Structure 1
Amino acid sequence: MDNNNLEQITFGGGCFWCVESCFNMLKGVQSAISGYSGGHKDNPTYEEVCTGETGHAEVVQITYDPAVISYEQLMDVFFFLHDPTQLNRQGNDIGTQYRSVIYYKDEAEKAKAEQAIKTSQESGRWQGTYVTELTKFDIFWPAEQYHQGYYNENPTQPYCSAVVGPKIQKFKKHFGELGMLNQA
């Protein structure tokens, strides 16, 4: 990858363990890092974010090469991995920290995000009204080191076995057929 042409996007779609592990499998993604964004507390901890009182969402910051994978393809994966019609939750994960949110850096990126939401809605993949927030990006706080690559390090942990693992298998089947996964 040409590091001079890399771009970043930050978004939240529920538990960051699911989102991060899938995005790290995509061709063209240099890194997917779990973290926090959108709140008022500097350098928040996982325990603080879990209270719902920091205003932060669990997010993933993706660094990618747009010559290999497009913003639109990343958005297609984003909307595949979570239900954008669930307000402040994904399945049994409930709270504002699990909200569906796309952080944009400028008006051009905001317009691309709005188009991605429209395209996903029109696809009919999810029934209901989308509640995905579009929020101006401010700062990204990386999560604690033990959250990075969490599923790969803890695949038999009960939440990983019940929630993350099945989501990854569905993701691999769908996006592997489209040729978007690394062959690692």
Structure 2
Amino acid sequence: MMAANNGEWKTATVAGGCFWGVEEYYRRLKGIVDTEVGLANDDETVDPNDIDNMIEAVKLTYDPAVISLEHIIDHLFRIVDPTSYDKQGPDQGAHYRTGVFYDNSSDKLLIENTIAEKSVHYKQPIYLQARNLHHFQVADEKHQAYLANNPSAHCHVDFSLIKDDEKK
């Protein structure tokens, strides 16, 4: 449950394969106030009820005084293979595309620039993209905080990549 907002929190939506592990990773970071898993749509022509054309994603509510959007993107690069097309860990298919969704132009430019800066460290093409968020459909309650509630479930995300000073 979120505490009072005071108008200072922001949201970012990230996609990094199966949303269970991505959510749990971010949930453990300082500055992340709330997480919500769901299906995101980056194409306004796609019917948001057509889940086959949706991307598993995590909507993050964060305190920008504690964690920046650039740092959120840094963490995404830590936990995914940005050179993998529509696949993360054992999960394959368009549902598992990687990216950062934006809903305003100032975030779009920041996201694109951060991804471009990181891409110079890779020899292969980067498939992690800046995407326009047209729709976010919240997943049902059993998927929220899934790994926190089901710790023996499988996950492709390595939680040990969080440094001690980044943990809640």
TM-score (norm 1): 0.81
Aligned to 2:140: 144
Counterpart amino acid of residue 33 in structure 1? E
What amino acid maps onto 2:26 in structure 1? F
Answering whether residue 3 of structure 2 is matched by residue 5 of structure 1, we say no
Other-structure match for 1:22: 25
Could you list the runs of 5+ residues in structure 1 that have no partner in the other structure?
Answer: none
* Residue of structure 2 equivalent to 1:121: 119
- Report the CA distance between 1:2 and its aligned residue: 6.4
- 5 Å-filtered alignment, 1:74-113, equals 74-113=72-111
1:42 to 43, 48, 56: 48
> What SS does structure 2 have at the residue aligned with 1:5?
coil
- Look up the SS of the partner of 1:151 in the other structure: helix
8 Å Cα contact 2:48-2:54 kept in structure 1: no
Point out which structure has higher relative CO (alpha carbons under 8 A, 6+ apart): 2
Letter matched to residue 48 of structure 2: D
Q: Any stretches of 5+ residues in structure 2 without a counterpart?
A: none
Quick check: 1:29–1:65 contact (8 Å CA) kept in 2? yes
Q: Which has the higher helix share?
A: 1
What is the CA–CA distance in structure 2 between the aligned matches of 1:8 and 1:21, rounded to whole Å?
16
1:118-160 superposed Cα distances (whole Å, 9 cap, x missing partner): 22223x3x54110123221112111111111111111123x24
The alpha-carbon deviation at position 103 of structure 1 amounts to 1.1
Amino-acid identity (%): 30
Summarize deviations over 1:94-137 as a string: whole Å, max 9, x none. 00000012211122111101111122223x3x541101232211
Q: Count how many residue pairs are aligned between Structure 1 and Structure 2.
A: 162
2:163 is the alignment partner of 1:180: no
What is the RMSD of the two structures over their aligned residues, measured on CA atoms?
Answer: 1.8
1:18 Cα offset (Å): 0.9
Structure 2 residue 157 is the aligned partner of structure 1 residue 156: no
Paired residues of 1:85 and 1:127 also in contact (CA < 8 A):
no
